[in-house]
Amino acid sequence: MHQGIGFIQDLAVVMAIAGIVTVLFHRLKQPVVLGYIAAGVIIGPYTPPFQLIHDEQTIQTMGELGVVFLMFSLGLEFSLRKLFQVGATAIVAALSEIVLMLWLGYEIGQAFGWAAMDSLFLGAILAISSTTIIVKALADLGVKREPFAQLVFGILIVEDILGIAMLVLLGGIAQTGELSPAIAFVTLGKLLLFMVVSLVVGILVVPRVLAYVARSGSDEMLLVSVLGFCFGFCLLVVKLDYSIALGAFLIGAIMAESRHLHRIEHLVAPLRDAFSAIFFVTIGLMLNPLVLVDYAWPIAVISVAVVLGKLVSCGLGTFLAGRDGRTAMRVGMTVSQIGEFSFIIASLGLTLKVTSGFLYPIAVTVSAITTLTTPYLIRIADPLSQRLARAMPPSVANVFGMYSQWLRALMPRSDGGPTLFSLTKRIVVQIAVNLALVSAIFIGVSYGARYAAPFIAQWVADERIQRVVLWSAALVLAMPFLVAVWRKTQSLALLLAEVSVQPEKAGRFTRATRRAIAELVPVISMIGVFVLVAALSGTILPPTGFLIGVLVCAALLTMLLWRWCVKIHASMQIALRETFDERPDA
Amino acid sequence: MHQGIGFIQDLAVVMAIAGIVTVLFHRLKQPVVLGYIAAGVIIGPYTPPFQLIHDEQTIQTMGELGVVFLMFSLGLEFSLRKLFQVGATAIVAALSEIVLMLWLGYEIGQAFGWAAMDSLFLGAILAISSTTIIVKALADLGVKREPFAQLVFGILIVEDILGIAMLVLLGGIAQTGELSPAIAFVTLGKLLLFMVVSLVVGILVVPRVLAYVARSGSDEMLLVSVLGFCFGFCLLVVKLDYSIALGAFLIGAIMAESRHLHRIEHLVAPLRDAFSAIFFVTIGLMLNPLVLVDYAWPIAVISVAVVLGKLVSCGLGTFLAGRDGRTAMRVGMTVSQIGEFSFIIASLGLTLKVTSGFLYPIAVTVSAITTLTTPYLIRIADPLSQRLARAMPPSVANVFGMYSQWLRALMPRSDGGPTLFSLTKRIVVQIAVNLALVSAIFIGVSYGARYAAPFIAQWVADERIQRVVLWSAALVLAMPFLVAVWRKTQSLALLLAEVSVQPEKAGRFTRATRRAIAELVPVISMIGVFVLVAALSGTILPPTGFLIGVLVCAALLTMLLWRWCVKIHASMQIALRETFDERPDA
């Protein structure tokens, strides 16, 4: 019983001091998160009385569990449905914020003469706002249900996804030292493919299994299953060389589609609270107050840059996407801080040993400062926008007013039935998802080939025949999705033919042209799909002769199993839609 | 981000396999706990495929957190109020069970030719039944609210306390190799003192602080405060050389008196479920199936001994305490297994390196077997007691019947006002609690003297004066409680004088004798208290001359501050009673 005493002592120190300091911070009406960080500084090695932690490694590991639970909870609050609803405005605002802040951070770093990698990480650290702080501040001010708050949540969701992409890209850049557009494209493509496939497969499987477990009525079993999925998926993600934060976020987003979302949130909340407290304390542990004195000047500049940069970029993005000036001002003021994502990015830099030691404490301090200012900024947003409106010269106000009018005229009217745009959009999305699944199957089989090869070798000696077996297996697995791609492409081609060929112009060729388009487009697309698949499965692609044979067999098989393929795919699609349409139980 | 990957991988393996196996066990309608242990065996190093855990040390540490949360939850379910209610029957039944099983286990160990320490630990392992398994089995059978179940819960509470005492004694025996009655007496006395003082001080402080924190409405802050208290107290307990299990249990029992008990239980449940799952998995990890084959014979004997021994000892104890045969049979059948406490005792033996390696797997296997049989035993209790009643020879039945009648005649009637017994009992308890606090203050100051001495030495050079200062400080601190002891002893003496001196016998001396008793008893008691205090604070007791001076000053001070002392004590007593009388919020 006396093995883990050192660890228990550490945990006792962390929890006891965190408890006292947070109660104090709450009394002073300051965010609890700052209390945790302050507790970490007190406990840490840089401040008196002395180093209170014995086994820092284990506490760090606990803190990493905090990141897992934090990102998992963020995922649970993420929802594809909500993402579709907030739509364009959130994307425009988040994109303009991230791009401007990345650039601003990089330029500031360069101006202070820091290394390129430090400057790049500074940009990334400044790019993403803090969901935790914003949710807390909006709830405290009692404005969580107002329309601008909903828009902010949409922006935060988009930011989370872009932040994940940034984590992956930064990891790549840190390892290779540079970012060629081609590599960025491939990296992001792979990430997108991985996310789409995980979401589709995950949403098909996980909520069903959880519903089965939940039927037992045992919270304990549900929790253990949720944690099993969570850590299991994180492990898979880590094995694929992505960050554990991405894994936790994705599996959270998958479980967000479960009917038992609220029960899961309830069960995970104490784990998240306990371990994220430890995570924030470990952030404080690393904070050397002396560094802050040395870097007071950069800290001040960066803090101002965060507030002004986010206000301008996100506010302007919101305005350009068609919201009024007051909403834009409130949105800009709300997102004007950095938080947990910045810590994750900063610690990524430290772990990969590409950033200097001073970047982390700077990030933490800037986060603390901007967190403290956030509630005040949200509160002055309205008076400020009124005063600005009054102080604005009439000519400028006119330009703004005209822009709004022009944008409103441009927007598609959302009344009436499905438009051509919405119809094609839907088919395109369906084709893309099916293509993603096909790609994933071929990549997966190619990847698994090295493990399967020894087993197949026992039966078939010829290396070419081995390839035939593997490639055929992938083809059979992918068949339902290929059939779906073919059918959706046909519908799309018909639609395109109808719209693009106008009888007034094509005259008597109308019918023939339309028919040519409707029949040629699917065939050409399938050739494109074949080229894509062949490229993806290069390592297991059979030699040409064999390949033709396989394709002919596959064609025959497809004709035979056509109805079965359609049925399989339809039932999967229905299952997916059912899971989406189900609202979580209250 | 990639530091703790090994650990995340371990956690993923543990959680994923635990999830799958428990769902399977639930499907087969077997206890989830067995699923965890089975998962541990699968993951463990002794079974194929291979060792799946990389960092066993960290997983073991997590498992110890499981023990903390398990014992903490047990403490939350413990309640002094409930303990007073179940009263004598539970104590008799639990005592007879523990004593018989200790003896039986020891004898079995000796019969198999095991070492004395192994035999002793086997006895301790068999002594305590499993709260977790019993609560689960009774809930599954739908008999949780029946009177016999309430009695079983009472027995479990008494067992928990006696089990804690046993842990402390075993620790002492393991270190010294023997148990002299004097050492046992001192050990148990110190334990009792520690428990009483912790409970009184804890119940005065902890629920009030938690109520203050709870008013913020933040679950996160409440949880962090609860964990801060929990681990902080565990740390204190470990520093005093008690087991962490005792600390977690005690702080749980203290929080059980909080108004926010249900909120706390709700917040801690996921932590308990997650970490106790890991704890049970670590038990499976240590299980070598080959050992079980070697020790099949002892396992069979011990399993039968557990079922029959507990049935007879606990059932007989229940019957002797005045319950009917049917209830006795049901109680005996319900407690016929061993569980988490046995694992804790077995791992104590391993940690202290006083038991052989085979004891642990035997304990786990016997627990698994008896856990599996428990639900069936509870179910056959009723039919069996009916059949026994029919098969019993009339003469035996007669003896039993007469015993029951005799016992009922003996019982004090519980109607009417307070009896002399209940009145004196109350005063005696109050005196004991106050004496415990006085003792704790003097012991605490003596203990703290070595740390305070250097500071005092800066002001006073003379070592004798230092003692005067320290001892006076302790006396002043203890004054309200000493005054309370004096006043309660006075009331008790008056009561005793009234009862013990009957006018019929004492005649005309009645009044004088009564007065003599009423005045002498408190004085003699206070002299006894002084001797006790002097003995406890030997290291800081001033030399006689100084001591008399201190005592005279103290007497004067006491007279001056008499009213203030009485007020302080009264308000503490009221605060304590308030906390007790408050029911937790629904």
Does A168 touch chain B if contact means CB atoms closer than 8 Å? no
Omega before B147 cis (within 30°)?
A: no
H-type alpha helices, A501-543: 503-506, 510-536
Our CA angle for B571, B574, B575, nearest 5°, is 85
Q: How far apart are CA A418 and CA B48, in angstroms?
A: 58
* SS3 state of residue B123: helix
| pLDDT for the residue A417 | 53
Please name the residues in contact with B150: beta carbons below 8 A apart, sequence gap of 6 or more. B86
Closest partner CB to B351 (pick from A2, A61, A68): A2
Q: What pLDDT, on the 0 to 100 scale, is given for residue B73?
A: 86
Q: Per the CB < 8 Å rule, is B224 touching A267? A: no
Q: Please list every residue in chain A whose beta carbon sits closer than 8 Å to the beta carbon of residue B68.
A: 8
Contact A1 B245 (CB under 8 A): yes
- What is the rounded CA–CA span in Å between residue B227 and residue B484? 34
Identify the pLDDT of residue A382. Answer: 87
Q: Are A16 and B236 in contact (CB under 8 A)?
A: no
Q: Which two tokens stand for residue A339?
A: 């938080």
CB contact under 8 A, B269 and A60: no
- Residues A282-287 have a mean pLDDT of 81
B218 in contact with A, Cβ within 8 Å: yes
Residues of B in contact with A341 (CB under 8 A): none
Nearest-by-Cβ selection for A3 from B3, B17, B351: B351
Closest alpha carbon to A535 in A465, A446, A453: A446
- Residue type, position A220, single letter: E
Where are the CATH 1.20.1530.20 domain residues in chain B? 67-275+287-383
Domain with CATH 1.20.1530.20 in chain A: 67-383
CA distance B323 to B408: 10
Sites in chain B below the pLDDT cut of 70: 1-5, 47-52, 82-86, 179, 410-420, 422, 585-586
Q: How confident is the model at residue A1 (pLDDT cuts 50, 70, 90)?
A: very low
User: With an 8 Å Cβ cutoff, is B220 touching chain A?
Assistant: yes
d(CA A522, CA B529): 100
Q: Judge contact between B183 and B176, C-beta under 8 A.
A: yes
Give the mean model confidence (pLDDT) for residues A526-553: 85
> How far is Cα of residue A285 from the mean position of the Cα atoms in its chain?
28
Q: Which residue in B1, B15, B228 is closest to A228 by CB distance?
A: B15
Model confidence pLDDT, tens digit, residues A488-519 = 898 888 888 887 777 777 777 888 888 888 88
Amino acid found at A304: V
Do residues B172 and B413 lie in contact, with contact meaning Cβ atoms separated by under 8 Å? no
Mean pLDDT rounded to a whole number for chain B:
84
Contact of B132 with B339, CB cutoff 8 Å: yes
B277 touches chain A (CB under 8 A): yes
Q: Which residue of A67, A232, A269 is in closest CB contact with B16? A: A232
Report the pLDDT value the prediction gives residue B71, as an integer from 0 to 100. 82
Of B166, B91, B162, residue with least CA distance to B124: B166
- Cβ–Cβ gap B5/A238 under 8 Å: yes
Output the six-digit token pair for A199. Answer: 């979401």
* CB neighbours of residue A240 within 10 Å: 12
Q: Amino acid identity, residue A31?
A: P
**CATH number attached to the domain at A67-383:** 1.20.1530.20
User: CA–CA separation, A527 vs B39, rounded Å?
Assistant: 49
CB of A24 within 8 A of CB of A35? yes
Closest Cβ–Cβ partner in B1, B231, B274 for A227: B274
C-alpha distances in angstroms, A418 versus A11, A412, A425, A577?
A: 58, 12, 11, 19
Buried b (16+ CB within 10 A) or exposed e, B228-245: bbbbbbbbebbeeebbbb
pLDDT in tens, A361-387: 899 889 888 888 888 898 888 888 888
CB proximity A270 to B under 8 Å: yes
pLDDT tens per residue across span A24-76: 888 887 778 888 888 888 888 776 665 667 777 778 888 888 888 988 888 88
Asked if A522 contacts A486 with a C-beta cutoff of 8 angstroms, the reply is yes
Crossing angle of helices A56-77/A131-141, nearest 10°? 60
Residue B53 backbone zone (phi > 0: left; psi -120 to 50: alpha; other: beta): beta
CA within 13 Å, CB half, B498 = 8
| Alpha-carbon distance A434 to nearest alpha carbon in chain B (angstroms) | 29
Q: Decide if B274 and A224 are in contact by the 8 Å CB cutoff.
A: yes
| DSSP for residue B242 | -
Tokens of B290: 């080959």
What the block records as the tokens of B533 is 């205090």
How far is Cα of residue A368 from the mean position of the Cα atoms in its chain? 24
DSSP B14-26: HHHHHHHHHHHHH
Do B19 and A218 lie within an 8 Å CB cutoff?
Answer: no
Q: Is B224 on the interface with A (CB under 8 A)?
A: yes
Provide the pLDDT for residue A406: 78
Taking an 8 Å cut-off on Cβ atoms, the answer to whether B216 and A344 are in contact is: no
| Band (A101; pLDDT cuts 50, 70, 90) | very high
- A49 preceded by a cis bond (ω within 30 of 0): yes
Mean pLDDT, to the nearest integer, of A232-250? 84
CB nearest to A61's CB, from B58, B68, B232: B58
* Interface residue of A220, A263, A264, A276 to substitute, partner B, most B CBs within 10 Å: A220
pLDDT range class, residue A2, cuts 50, 70, 90: very low
CB-based contact B445:B540 (threshold 8 Å): yes
pLDDT computed for residue B1 by the predictor: 39
Under a CB-based contact definition with an 8 Å cutoff, are residues A385 and A329 in contact?
A: yes
Rounded Cα–Cα distance for residues B106 and B126 (Å): 10
Contacts with B229 from chain A: Cβ below 8 Å: 16, 19
With an 8 Å Cβ cutoff, are A23 and B221 in contact?
yes
A24 has a chain B CB within 8 A of its CB: no
State residue B161's pLDDT score.
80
Give A543's DSSP letter. P
Substitution target in B220, B229, B237 with the highest count of A β-carbons within 10 Å is B220
Question: Is A79's pLDDT higher than 80?
Answer: no
Residues 6+ apart with CB under 8 A from B307: B336, B337, B370, B373, B377
**Residue whose C-alpha is closest to residue A327's, from A382, A290, A279:** A382
Give counts: helices (H), strands (E), chain A: 22, 0
**What are B11's two structure tokens?**
């956690």
Token digits of residue B187: 């050990």
Distance from C-alpha of A158 to C-alpha of B259, rounded to nearest angstrom: 42
Chain B partners within 8 Å of A243 (Cβ): 1
> What's residue B51's pLDDT?
60
Predicted confidence band of residue A306 (pLDDT cuts 50, 70, 90): very high
Residues 237-266 of A with CB under 8 A from B: 238, 243-245
Q: Fill in the amino acid letter for A151.
A: L
Residues of A in contact with B224 (CB under 8 A): 15, 18-19, 22, 273-274, 277
Thinking of the domain B67-275+287-383, which architecture would CATH place it in? Up-down Bundle (1.20)
**Chain A residue with the nearest C-alpha to that of B213:** A23
Touching check for A140 and chain B: CB below 8 Å? no
- DSSP assignment of A72-111, as one string? HHHHHH--HHHHHHHHHHHHHHHHHHHHHHHHHHHHHHHH
Amino acid B139: pLDDT: 74
Residue from the list B18, B218, B229 with its beta carbon closest to the beta carbon of A228: B18
Tokens of B568: 């302080």
Report the Cα–Cα distance between both ends of chain A, in Å, rounded: 42
Interface of B with A in 467-486 (CB under 8 A): none
Q: Which of A60, A219, A221 sits opposite B23 (nearest CB)?
A: A221
Mutate to test the interface with B, among A224, A244, A275 (most CBs of B within 10 A): A224
pTM attached to this predicted model: 0.79
Cβ-nearest to A273 among B2, B8, B224? B224
A28 touches chain B (CB under 8 A): no
Instruction: Give the Cα separation of A493 and A523 in Å (integer).
Output: 10
CB nearest to A1's CB, from B2, B277, B348: B348
A2 in contact with B, Cβ within 8 Å: yes
